[in-house]
Chains A and B, each alone.
Chain A
């Protein structure tokens, strides 16, 4: 074969110049005084596309609400925020890279991606680049025990997901069930959830069965179900995501497992849960970061019920907690901007650390690790195909139906 080093060399040189040349063009300069730019890299494609879209809607809703309120000013000029979106295709390294690119353009204020893996990667980059990020999509405690100081999570931490349901059952289920079986996916987030839930269950006097693990994102949890079938647990508590959550309910019925109640994390508050399972979803308990009866209000969104109705009018579907937590993250950032009257990442970081406000999302305040341990999670139940808040009692819309009657 004839070697043509000269042609090859020419091609290499030309392409390198093209690559480097285009990148050497200076990037557009960032925010001017009136418009403050926030960066948001969310998964618009890939396995988290659905939740990524809900997060984007939440951010957009917040942007519209904030910009519509003409009384909020900075230095005499009206303040507007602009959110720049990028797709990270559900991959953590792209989520981190997008933040670095935002940093190049001078965008220091960040709204997080969705998914604990993505947010974990983003938190590391945010520390290195001295940006400031408000997290709306990654609740795993592992993100917050690394000593990062620049990421603030508006959500209740992962350990609360199952614990809240355990507490609700202990408080309101009559007669009180004896045994509680824990089934869990094997990813980090779900394991943290399960550990927290099991600890609370033992402390509240339940007999704990399990935990039985199954692979993350599987649609077949029959093995785990078969293993606990003989114990005839009163409650089956699943630390799951949507796919496994639906599979658990369906396969339990197929295998003839009939506990007094099903409680699952993450899946039941998602609207598709009730629509895909139909009658099987009745009376399943779930834990949610937010519901439309949560107490608290502020000037941009009003109360939780206002949020719910206006969101429905704007986007055509009911607001889920993914929407709400995204809007809440954006809100926290905006409130910090208002307080410091600037877009400086350091000042905003300090302002966020000191924030304490009752909003449509509940109480937003961050502890020393950056987590919102001050907001309780809400326990919901699917009643007649609708998502109804049943706990805490002070904001319940209806009584919890017990036992789960098929």
Chain B
């Protein structure tokens, strides 16, 4: 108990150091485990890392700022197609295309964010969804650049393949790096003034404006930051899949998964989306492999139970429980039901 008290009393720089140490341990563990996993499992875990990064990115605009973007996948798709197009037509190396895709996403976010972030609540959600669906259609209709409905392939063999295909192990590390980057960004945002500003906007936008926070600038920055990360994840996904099609890259289900992971894990926290991504991906992979016919059924049931019993998200539930020493699930239902 005294160690716990001692740790809790450590503040500021020392605490950051401890956390950094912990992260290094986990990362080392992840890299070690990479060598024990065969190819298919590496892919499955890479997908987990991908969703960790995506959910952290969504959390910045949706969890902290409270602007639920239903069209987050548009940055995934735009970043992905940007990479595919420049690698195929302009023969860029992947390592050059990667940050450029992030920037492409961020710039796009700034452009559409200006009008869209004026909308509130569900209207913002639908507008972003409209943008996502609309951009998919645009991509389908520009076959010279994007291959259209026939898909587009990143060159991985021959003279135009500037970057060697990373292989399952390589992509594992790439997605791990992206996940860590997203976690780092999320942690930084959650602890500094910018993040507090976002939380203020979530709770009461007018009051936040009244105390001097430039709400428009903050919102747009949050949106483009999440777009930057999402764009880079999209670029990596495209390189991994080699051949991509618009339906998959702009699939609304990816956004829904992101949102689910954040909300079930606990929105507005850093650890929440991480747990949500780990848990949900793992469960859905497991169910799909072992219950070939019934897996969506069971997954739907699990989601319903999770949402009814722990609507505030796992991390918030645990934190409140520790604070009030009350872990009752029924109390949850009593609190939130009509």
Contacts and interface: CB of A to CB of B under 8 A. Distances in A.
The answer to A–B direct touch (Cβ < 8 A) is yes
Contact of B275 (A15, A27, A85, A188): A15
B68 to A, nearest CB: 21
B306 interface: no
Contacts of B271: 8, 11-12
Contact of A101 (B40, B48, B151, B319): B40
Contacts of B120: none
A93 B36 CA distance: 23
A38 interface: no
A3 B269 CA distance: 10
A201 B322 CA distance: 75
B274 A187 contact: no
Contacts of A9: 19, 22
Contact of B245 (A45, A92, A105, A191): A92
Interface in B128-164: 137, 140, 147-151, 153, 157
A187 B275 contact: no
B149 to A, nearest CB: 4
Contacts of A216: 149
Contacts of A15: 275, 278-279
Given A13-B26, A187-B149, A104 B293 contact: no
Contacts of B89: none
A146 interface: yes
Interface in B1-46: 4, 7-8, 15, 18-19, 22, 25-26, 29-30, 33, 36-45
Contact of A142 (B4, B48, B150): B150
A89 B251 CA distance: 13
B21 to A, nearest CB: 10
A104 B39 contact: yes
Interface string B156-189: 0100000001011000000000000000000000
Interface string B254-287: 0000000000000000110011001100100000
A96 B288 CA distance: 14
Given A6-B4, A188-B149, A24 B33 contact: yes
| Chain A contact surface mostly | helix
Contact of B168 (A2, A100, A105): A100
Interface residues of B, number: 61
A103 B40 CA distance: 7
A86 B291 CA distance: 9
Given A19-B48, A44-B293, A146-B153, A97 B40 contact: yes
A104 B45 CA distance: 14
B231 to A, nearest CB: 18
Nearest to A85: B292
B275 A101 contact: no
A187 B47 CA distance: 27
A13 B323 CA distance: 22
Query: Interface centre among A13, A19, A85, A93, by most B CB within 10 Å?
Result: A19
B288 A87 contact: yes
A27 B289 CA distance: 13
A224 interface: no
Interface string A1-35: 01111111101110110111001100100000000
Interface stretch (A117-125, A266-274, A384-392): A117-125
B40 A87 contact: no
A86 B33 contact: no
B151 A117 contact: yes
Query: Interface centre among A12, A86, A105, A191, by most B CB within 10 Å?
Result: A12
Interface string B282-322: 10000011001101100000000000000000010011001
A192 B288 CA distance: 33
A117 B48 contact: no
A249 B19 CA distance: 65
Contacts of B26: 12-13, 16
B241 interface: yes
B29 A188 contact: no
Interface in A52-109: 85-87, 89, 91-94, 96-105
Query: Interface centre among B43, B289, B318, by most A CB within 10 Å?
Result: B43
B248 A101 contact: no
Nearest to B38: A104
B268 to A, nearest CB: 9
A248 to B, nearest CB: 18
Contact of A186 (B148, B151, B237): B148
Interface string A314-350: 0000000000000000000000000000000000000
Contacts of A306: none
A124 B242 contact: yes
A23 B293 CA distance: 23
B288 to A, nearest CB: 6
A145 to B, nearest CB: 11
B326 interface: no
A23 B42 CA distance: 10
Interface in A104-154: 104-105, 117, 120-121, 124, 128-129, 140, 142, 146-147
A98 to B, nearest CB: 8
Contacts of A91: 248
Interface in A187-214: 187-188, 191-192
Given A11-B275, A12-B271, A20-B29, A103 B243 contact: no
17 contacts: A4-B322, A5-B18, A8-B270, A11-B318, A16-B26, A19-B45, A19-B278, A45-B295, A87-B293, A92-B241, A97-B40, A97-B47, A104-B40, A117-B151, A121-B241, A188-B151, A216-B149
Interface of A: 2-9, 11-13, 15-16, 18-20, 23-24, 27, 44-45, 85-87, 89, 91-94, 96-105, 117, 120-121, 124, 128-129, 140, 142, 146-147, 185-188, 191-192, 215-216
Given A4-B319, A8-B315, A187-B150, 16 more contacts: A4-B322, A7-B322, A9-B19, A11-B318, A12-B271, A12-B275, A16-B278, A20-B37, A86-B288, A93-B237, A99-B40, A100-B43, A105-B40, A117-B245, A128-B167, A187-B149
